[in-house]
């Protein structure tokens, strides 16, 4: 049984060539060239390997090639399925414990690495890396951009929502995947810039060369004068019992499966984290036809943009603040998740726990910069600049300006008198701004003569698209900051063109007027879901906080192709005219917990080191028996010794050790591994050159 997304309100669904392959003796079908992990997931496979510790099933976690939980055996050799394209006839097997060495070495010729040279090596082709490369190319430098994905754009490729920020500086009001296409065109047109897609910088060496695992099969050297690190960020893990079950994975992996590969990776999900990443992942799930039982966060308020949170609640998804995940359970895969409110010390109140039937838990609890290359380059004394999430976790809108600034900084380090405009830095700081104050809006006066905008955005965030589309210049930003952080206000003329409603990234603008029918009003609502609303249809309307107002009658609908947004005109009681903010899309029964909480809470069984399956309890026991002053000591119990190189557990361990009374400030850090990704020996010898080995 396959699980493909066949219709989507935003994305064009195209099916590629279907090919057959085998998995553990079963014949399956997938799209040629898609990542093997996506093909397996579409065929209902959740467990990719069995760990040598307790035969624990391992499922996809990052979908980014950085961990090894999706490793399988293909034609006798171990590969990471999330970076291995599917080919017809592949024989795929579950990896059971450790892979076995081949009986004999392949009798293929060895070739020296290809040698490339450039002025600047840019690591990462996300928004910051692209803009840095374009800037340098325009200044006359030769640039090589290395990125591990098939197409440039970074996480923008996965984003189907409209972006906030400035229209002029970062394409605000445009959907992320469309911005990616714009930046791809800029990169293609940039002089002196070469792009190496599907490739990974594996290491930076002290002799001024970088090792590149090109197309995941060849070993290449790049000699450079300077490096720009724009490698993005990796998602934080979270420790709770059952956190390593297949079906628990990062929000980015979920977006990769759903929005890039159009695989319906779940039926019912619980999202952990109410920052922008978690809120957006929940919205993307709904658009893909996946039910979301709720979002959970230990924080006391939504930490992402309020308009994102409001939008989710209007769709029918509850947000559980000051709650935590107690545990996730299931036989070989996620079947249920239990949450509970926390006390002032953050401890779960188990007598108030609720259990939900889910098959997926998305972890969206923050990001960690991928800046290891920056540290290596600094140690070796190379000119180096980091930008985007590798420098500071922020929105892609600021990363675009940050990339241009990084390009100019590198030009200066290489001897060019390149000016960095002051306004670039000022604009970038605004775009990086955290949400500001929340204001209470007054209710505007409505009439029968014409529609007028009603604004449901009440929090200061960097955003100005609605001010740019009104042909009468009737929407202005007003407030105390004097920047795009201010809130929009309407003064002037409105002809109900609907452009401000359609472009708003937060779906936070409606149009309203009083009806000629006594006691009724007409409201125009934005809608980004597939629908078949005919005139006369009844729809459930919600206010800004997700509270159900009641039923409205559909009068008409328009579709704005440019913004891929429907405008639904509904007739409602006049007293709802200022409150109606959206149409509920998820049925109430979808978010109901099980009748009784069902869980076994053993917190010390939570996995900290996913690769080696080292638990909280094992780390605490070691710390209590030994004087731990150096994180490298934990390698004695295999912490950080796995395939991911300690990338996941390194940010978790200090907090765990604090439970044993060890001050994280005194701990010496772990030694960085010199090679960031695994490279097979046959690839280092370039035995795949000439097509002899694929």
DSSP sequence for 522-570 = EEEEEE-S-----TT-EEEEE-TTS-EEEEEEEEEEEEETTTTEEEEEE
C-alpha–C-alpha distance, residues 401 and 408, integer Å: 11
Question: Going by C-beta distance under 8 Å and a sequence separation of 6 or more, which residues neighbour residue 551?
Answer: 538, 539, 540, 541
In the structure encoding, which two tokens stand for residue 151, read together? 């197409």
Q: Please, are residues 521 and 576 in contact by the beta-carbon 8 Å criterion?
A: yes
Mean pLDDT, range 313-332, rounded to an integer: 97
Residues 554 and 635 occupy one common structural domain: no
Answer yes or no: do 587 and 514 share one domain. Answer: yes
Q: Where are the beta strands (DSSP E) in 630-688?
A: none
| Position 482 in a domain | no
Q: Tell me, letter by letter, the H, E, C secondary structure of 53-95.
A: CCCCEECCCCCCCCCCCCEEEECCEEEEHHHCECCCCCEEEEE
Looking at 538, 563, 591, which one is the last position of a domain? 591
Summarize pLDDT for 472-515 with one digit per residue, the tens. Answer: 999 999 999 999 999 999 999 999 999 999 999 999 999 999 99
Beta bridge partners of 270: 294, 361
Show the tokens assigned to 575: 């007293």
Alpha carbon 81 to chain centroid, angstroms: 19
Assess contact for 94 and 669: CB atoms under 8 A.
Answer: no
Note whether 546 and 606 are same-domain residues. Answer: no
Tokens coding 305 = 């943009």
DSSP state of 44: T
Buried b (16+ CB within 10 A) or exposed e, 173-184: bbbbbbbbeebb
Under a CB-based contact definition with an 8 Å cutoff, are residues 173 and 162 in contact?
yes
CATH number at residue 307: 3.50.50.60
User: Would you say residue 43 has pLDDT above 50?
Assistant: yes
Q: What's the whole-number mean pLDDT along residues 626-641?
A: 93
Judge whether 298 and 346 are in contact, CB under 8 Å: yes
Nearest to 45 by CA among 16, 66, 25, 19: 25
Specify whether the CB–CB gap between 647 and 609 falls below 8 A: no
Q: What is the pLDDT of residues 579-624, one digit of tens each?
A: 999 999 999 999 999 999 999 888 999 999 999 999 999 999 999 9
What total number of domains does the chain contain? 4
Average pLDDT, the chain: 94
Query: What's the pLDDT at 167?
Result: 95
Nearest by Cα to 120 from 190, 185, 181, 186: 190
Q: Please state at what angle helix 396-413 crosses helix 176-189, rounded to 10 degrees.
A: 20
pLDDT in tens, 422-464: 999 999 999 999 999 999 999 999 999 999 999 999 999 999 9
How many separate helices (H) and strands (E) can be counted in the chain?
A: 15, 37
- Give me the domain span that covers residue 286: 18-99+237-363
E-strand ranges in 448-514 read 452-455, 475-478, 487-490, 509-514
The reply to whether 444 falls in a domain is no
Residue 613 lies in a domain: yes
Does 634 share its domain with 532?
no
Query: 334, 309 in Cβ contact below 8 A?
Result: no
pLDDT value of residue 690: 56
User: Of 355, 356, 359, which is closest to residue 335 (Cα–Cα)?
Assistant: 359
Assess contact for 221 and 308: CB atoms under 8 A.
no
Q: How far from chain centre, in Å, is Cα 127?
A: 14
310 assigned to some structural domain: yes
Domain contains 6: no
Q: Could you report the per-residue pLDDT of 98-149, keeping only the tens digit for each? A: 988 877 766 788 999 999 999 999 999 999 999 999 999 999 999 999 999 9
pLDDT at 385: 98
Write down which residue in 591, 621, 640 finishes a domain: 591
Residue 273 lies in a domain: yes
CA-CA distance, 274 to 257, in Å (whole number)? 21
Q: Which two tokens stand for residue 404?
A: 């241009």
One domain, residues 547 and 585: yes
Considering the domain boundaries, does residue 11 fall inside one? no
| pLDDT on residue 466 | 97
Q: Domain check: are 221 and 263 in the same one? A: no
Residue with tokens 């994905």: 149
- The domain that holds 582 is classified in CATH as 2.40.30
Percent of the chain residues past pLDDT 70, beyond the cut: 99
What is the per-residue pLDDT across 65-101, written as a single tens digit (0 to 9) for each?
A: 888 889 999 998 899 999 999 999 999 999 999 988 8
Domain boundary among 363, 386, 407: 363
Q: Do 623 and 668 belong together in one domain?
A: yes
* pLDDT at residue 532, rounded to an integer: 74
Q: At what angle are helices 422-431 and 396-413 packed, to 10 degrees? A: 150
Task: Give the DSSP letter string of 241-305.
Answer: TTTTSTTEEEHHHHHIIIIIS-B---SEEEEE--SHHHHHHHHHHHHTT-EEEEEEESSSS--S-
Q: Which long-range contacts (CB under 8 A, 24 or more apart) does 69-72 make?
A: 69/610, 69/611, 70/37, 71/95, 71/99, 71/643, 72/36, 72/40, 72/48
189 and 254 part of one domain = no
Among 32-46, 92-106, 334-348, 356-370, which stretch is predicted with the lowest mean pLDDT? 92-106
Q: For the residues 539-563, what does the mean pLDDT come to?
A: 96
* Closest alpha carbon to 145 in 170, 169, 127, 158: 127
Tell me the whole-structure pTM to 2 decimals. Answer: 0.94
State whether 26 and 85 are in the same domain: yes
Closest CA to 6 of 280, 264, 282: 264
Classified as helix, coil or strand, 329 is strand
Q: Kindly give the pairing relationship between strand 193-196 and strand 200-204.
A: unpaired
Alpha-carbon distance values, 89 to 48, 49, 562 (Å) = 18, 20, 41
d(CA 206, CA 661): 39
Residue 603: burial class (beta carbons within 10 Å; 0-12, 13-18, 19+): middle
Going from the C-alpha of 604 to that of each of 346, 354, 611, the distances in angstroms are 16, 21, 17
Tens digit of each residue's pLDDT (9 = 90 or more) over 371-409: 989 999 999 999 999 999 999 999 999 999 999 999 999
Q: Give pLDDT tens digits for 222-262.
A: 999 999 999 999 989 999 999 999 999 999 999 999 999 99
Q: Are residues 584 and 606 in the same domain?
A: no
**Residue 686 sits in the same domain as residue 618:** yes
Q: Name which of 218, 220, 195 is nearest 209 in CA terms.
A: 220
> What pLDDT sits at residue 691?
46
Q: Kindly state the helix (H) or strand (E) to which residue 138 belongs, with its residue range.
A: helix 127-138
Please tell me the distance from the alpha carbon of residue 80 to that of residue 418, in angstroms, as a whole number. Answer: 42
In a shared domain, residues 662 and 685: yes
pLDDT of residue 694: 38
* Any domain includes 479: no
């Amino acid at each position: 049984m396959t699980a493909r997304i066949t219709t989507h309100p935003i994305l064009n669904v195209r099916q590629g060539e279907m090919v057959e392959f085998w998995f553990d003796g079963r014949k399956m079908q997938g799209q040629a060239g898609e990542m093997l992990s996506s093909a397996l997931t579409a065929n209902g496979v959740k467990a990719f390997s069995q760990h040598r510790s307790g035969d624990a099933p391992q499922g996809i976690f990052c979908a980014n090639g950085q961990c090894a939980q999706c490793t399988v055996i293909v034609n006798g050799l171990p590969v990471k399925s999330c970076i291995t394209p599917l080919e017809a006839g592949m024989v795929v097997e579950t990896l059971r414990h450790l892979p076995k060495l081949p009986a004999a070495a392949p009798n293929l010729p060895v070739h020296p690495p290809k040698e490339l040279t450039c002025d600047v090596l840019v690591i990462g082709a996300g928004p910051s890396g692209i803009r840095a490369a374009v800037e340098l190319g325009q200044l006359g430098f030769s640039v090589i951009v290395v990125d591990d994905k098939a197409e440039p754009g970074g996480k923008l490729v996965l984003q189907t929502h409209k972006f906030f920020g400035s229209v002029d500086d970062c394409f605000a009001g445009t959907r992320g995947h469309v911005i990616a296409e714009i930046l791809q065109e800029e990169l293609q047109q940039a002089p002196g810039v070469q792009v190496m897609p599907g490739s990974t910088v594996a290491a930076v060496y002290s002799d001024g060369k970088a090792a590149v695992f090109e197309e995941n099969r060849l070993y290449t050297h790049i000699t450079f004068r300077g490096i720009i690190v724009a490698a993005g960020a990796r998602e934080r893990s979270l420790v709770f019992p059952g956190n390593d079950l297949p079906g628990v994975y990062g929000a980015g992996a979920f977006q990769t499966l759903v929005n890039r590969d159009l695989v319906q990776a779940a039926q019912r999900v619980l999202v952990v984290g109410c920052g922008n990443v978690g809120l957006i992942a929940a919205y993307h799930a709904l658009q893909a036809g996946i039910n979301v039982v709720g979002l959970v966060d230990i924080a006391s308020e939504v930490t992402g943009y309020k308009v994102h949170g409001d939008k989710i609640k209007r769709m029918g998804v509850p947000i559980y603040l000051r709650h935590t995940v107690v545990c996730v359970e299931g036989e070989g895969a996620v079947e249920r998740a239990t949450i509970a409110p926390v006390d002032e010390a953050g401890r779960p109140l188990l007598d108030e726990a609720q259990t939900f039937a889910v098959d997926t838990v998305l972890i969206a609890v923050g990001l960690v910069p991928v800046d290891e290359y920056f540290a290596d380059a600094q140690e070796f004394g190379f000119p180096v600049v980091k930008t985007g999430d590798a420098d500071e976790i922020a929105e892609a809108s600021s990363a675009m300006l940050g990339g241009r600034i990084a390009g100019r900084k590198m030009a200066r380090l290489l001897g060019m008198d390149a000016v960095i405009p002051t306004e670039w830095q000022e604009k970038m700081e605004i775009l990086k701004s955290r949400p500001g104050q929340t204001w209470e809006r007054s209710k505007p006066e409505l009439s029968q003569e014409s529609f007028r905008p009603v604004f449901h955005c009440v929090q200061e965030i960097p955003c100005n698209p609605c001010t740019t589309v009104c042909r009468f210049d009737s929407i202005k930003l007003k407030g105390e900051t004097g920047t795009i952080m201010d809130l929009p206000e309407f003064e002037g003329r409105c002809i109900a063109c609907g452009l401000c409603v359609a472009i708003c990234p937060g779906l936070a603008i409606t149009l309203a007027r009083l009806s000629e029918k006594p006691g009724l009003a007409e409201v125009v609502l934005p809608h980004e879901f597939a629908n078949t609303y005919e005139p006369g249809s009844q729809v459930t309307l919600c206010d800004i906080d997700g509270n159900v107002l009641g039923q409205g009658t559909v009068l008409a609908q328009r579709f704005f192709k440019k913004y891929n947004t429907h405008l639904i005109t509904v007739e409602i009681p006049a007293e709802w005219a200022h409150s109606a903010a959206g149409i509920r899309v998820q049925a109430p029964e979808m978010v109901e917990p099980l009748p009784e909480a069902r869980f076994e809470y053993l917190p010390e069984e939570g996995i900290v080191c996913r690769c080696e399956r080292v638990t909280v309890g094992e780390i605490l026991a070691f710390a209590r028996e030994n004087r731990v002053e150096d994180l490298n000591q934990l390698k004695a119990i295999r912490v950080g010794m796995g395939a991911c190189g300690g990338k996941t557990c390194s940010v978790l361990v200090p907090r765990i050790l604090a439970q044993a009374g060890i001050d994280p400030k005194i701990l010496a850090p772990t030694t960085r591994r010199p090679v960031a990704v695994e490279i097979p020996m046959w690839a280092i010898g370039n035995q795949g050159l000439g097509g002899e080995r694929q």
